[in-house]
Amino acid sequence: SQQGEEDPQALSIQEGENATMNCSYKTSINNLQWYRQNSGRGLVHLILIRSNEREKHSGRLRVTLDTSKKSSSLLITASRAADTASYFCATRHTGANSKLTFGKGITLSVRP
């Protein structure tokens, strides 16, 4: 399966702490994307990192990519209660017309 696997499955932290979520995949990628989903809602794109990039920032988000280990990490700094959601890693694999493949997601709970 080309599906990415997130780790941990669930994460509970205190407001103000940093949250680190990991994603591993098996085959070569064109890019890796992170999405957020609030309970009962649609997915919202957070950030995209290409295979030739190692780190990218967007506001309180920092994503890293290690293609040699086939893994990525999403760091949310200074977490807020409003960051409580599920986070999904999605991989766009190399090859023509490659579909976007989603992992099972990580449930993040940020306690006020």
Partner 1 sequence: DGGITQSPKYLFRKEGQNVTLSCEQNLNHDAMYWYRQDPGQGLRLIYYSQIVNDFQKGDIAEGYSVSREKKESFPLTVTSAQKNPTAFYLCASSPSGLAFTGELFFGEGSRLTVL
Residues in contact with 31: Cβ distance below 8 Å, sequence separation at least 6, in sequence order: 48, 49, 50, 51, 91, 92
| Residue 19 or 92 with smaller CB distance to partner 1 | 92
Q: Which of residues 41-100 bind partner 1 (CB under 8 A)?
A: 41-45, 48, 88, 92, 96-100
| Residue 4 or 79 with smaller CB distance to partner 1 | 4
Q: Which two tokens stand for residue 38?
A: 């609030």
Give CA 111 to chain center in angstroms. Answer: 20
Q: Which stretches of the chain bind partner 1, using CB under 8 A?
A: 3, 30-31, 33, 40-45, 48, 88, 92, 96-105
